[in-house]
């Protein structure tokens, strides 16, 4: 009888392990090395060993364009994406079933900086070429509004160019660009590596929700418990980051990001501690008025040609439950 005991026990343990694996949901999450994305990596670093219902796979991208493509074809399930990209995907949903995504919440606001080779206020940007994340970005919408308020008109008094993050510093150094308006850390990196100056009165640019957390509709509907566990971890990551900024000047956050973003700890700590670009990591429901305002602007300048039902696009039930927990 003893001869059969060990093999039977091994088979029993293996059966339990397989059953457990079948109950684990794999969630593929896309991210970029930008400060708005830090909660994703802090969540992963702090909680991945303790997840019970979900296994998170992080996939690093180099541009929002590649994030958009991955969301459209369904190769990732979740991401923190710019509002214009989300609206663009949503406008095409009727002909692309795999990209059926939902906005579930907002986990940060602010975080973009306008820097220039020339020190001064907004008016010094007259005649300049300014690099932005894309000509369909929140940054270009904000820039156009602020410049117009200062009697500077797009195409006449200044120009903007959609650029990739990995060429931004080189283009500023070579004077191909004279200014950058990009998500952090790129403004801070430009200050350190090129001697660029922060344009005065950055508060004029506000501190709004520019990116939102999106998850595939099928995950929300079919894997509710797993998604709830992950969203809970993301919300806790935001609390962790805010607490770390207040108590240590973001020292622990800087250490965690280094493994995934490979950004100088000094740049991370300086930017977050000084709240550059008005960045905050406070989970909230999406600002509907902000989304509508961006949608209106995108429609006006014909970035999208089809209507978007914002109510149908948003599903914050899980997110609201999580953030209401003490």
Arithmetic mean of pLDDT over the chain: 89
Backbone angles phi, psi at 196, to 5 degrees: -65, 155
Q: Does domain 20-109+210-262+280-324 have CATH number 3.40.50.300?
A: no
Confidence of residue 172 (pLDDT cuts 50, 70, 90): very high
d(CA 215, CA 28): 10
* Partner residues linked to 87 by β-bridges: none
- Choose which CATH entry (3.40.190.10, 3.30.450.40, 3.30.565.10, 3.10.20.90) describes domain 112-205: 3.40.190.10
Number of residues written out for the chain: 326
First to last CA, the chain: 54
Please check the confidence at residue 13 and state whether its pLDDT lies above 80: no
Q: Report the pLDDT averaged over residues 168-183.
A: 96
Q: Per-residue pLDDT averaged across 259-277, rounded?
A: 96
Give the helix, strand, coil percentages of the chain, each rounded to 5: 55, 15, 30
Query: Torsion angle, CA of 180/186/187/189, rounded to 10 degrees?
Result: -120
Spell out the domain ranges in the chain: 20-109+210-262+280-324, 112-205
pLDDT at site 6: 47
Q: Which of 6-10, 162-166, 204-208 has the highest mean pLDDT?
A: 162-166
Strand pairing class (179-183; 25-31): unpaired
Give the span between the Cα atoms of 211 and 294, in whole angstroms: 12
189-244: per-residue pLDDT in tens? 999 999 999 998 777 676 789 999 999 999 999 999 999 999 999 999 999 999 99
- Is the entire prediction scored with pTM above 0.85? yes
The percentage of the chain sitting over the pLDDT mark of 70, rounded to a whole number, equals 90
Calpha distance 126→179 (Å, rounded): 11
Radius of gyration of the chain (CA): 22
- How far is Cα 29 from Cα 162, in angstroms, rounded to an integer? 25
| 168 has pLDDT over 50 | yes
pLDDT at 18: 34
Same CATH fold assignment for domains 20-109+210-262+280-324 and 112-205: yes
More confident residue, 145 or 95: 145
Phi, psi of 134 (to 5 degrees): 175, 160
| pLDDT tens string 92-126 | 765 544 458 999 999 999 999 999 999 999 999 99
Residue that is written with structure tokens 């039930």 in the block: 317
């Amino acid at each position: 009888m003893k001869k059969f005991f060990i093999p039977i026990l091994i088979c029993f343990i293996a059966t339990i392990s397989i059953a457990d694996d079948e109950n684990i949901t794999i969630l593929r999450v896309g991210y970029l090395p930008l400060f708005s994305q830090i909660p994703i990596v802090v969540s992963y670093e702090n909680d991945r060993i303790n997840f019970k219902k979900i296994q998170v796979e992080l996939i690093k991208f180099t541009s929002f364009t590649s994030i958009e493509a991955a969301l459209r074809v369904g190769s990732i399930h979740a991401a923190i994406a710019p509002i214009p990209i989300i609206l663009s995907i949503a406008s095409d949903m009727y002909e692309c079933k795999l990209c059926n995504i939902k906005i579930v919440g907002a986990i940060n606001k602010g975080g973009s900086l306008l820097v220039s080779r020339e020190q001064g206020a907004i008016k010094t940007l007259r005649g300049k070429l300014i690099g932005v994340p894309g000509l369909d970005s929140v940054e270009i919408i904000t820039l156009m509004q602020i410049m117009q308020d200062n009697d500077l008109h797009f195409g006449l008094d200044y120009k903007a160019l959609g650029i990739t993050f990995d060429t931004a510093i080189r283009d500023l150094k070579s004077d191909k660009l004279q200014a950058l308006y990009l998500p952090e850390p790129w403004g801070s990196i430009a200050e350190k590596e090129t001697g660029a100056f922060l344009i005065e009165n950055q508060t004029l640019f506000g501190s709004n929700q520019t990116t939102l957390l999106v998850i595939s509709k099928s995950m929300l509907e079919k894997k509710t418990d797993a998604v709830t566990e992950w969203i809970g971890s993301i919300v806790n990551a935001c609390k962790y980051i805010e607490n770390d900024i207040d108590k240590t000047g973001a020292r622990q956050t800087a250490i965690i990001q280094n493994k995934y973003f490979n950004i100088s700890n000094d740049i991370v700590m300086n930017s977050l501690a000084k709240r550059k670009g008005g960045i905050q990591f406070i989970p909230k429901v999406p600002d509907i008025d902000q989304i509508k305002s961006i949608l209106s602007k995108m429609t006006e300048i014909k970035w999208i040609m089809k209507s978007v039902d914002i109510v149908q696009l948003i599903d914050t039930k899980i997110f609201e439950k999580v953030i209401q927990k003490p």
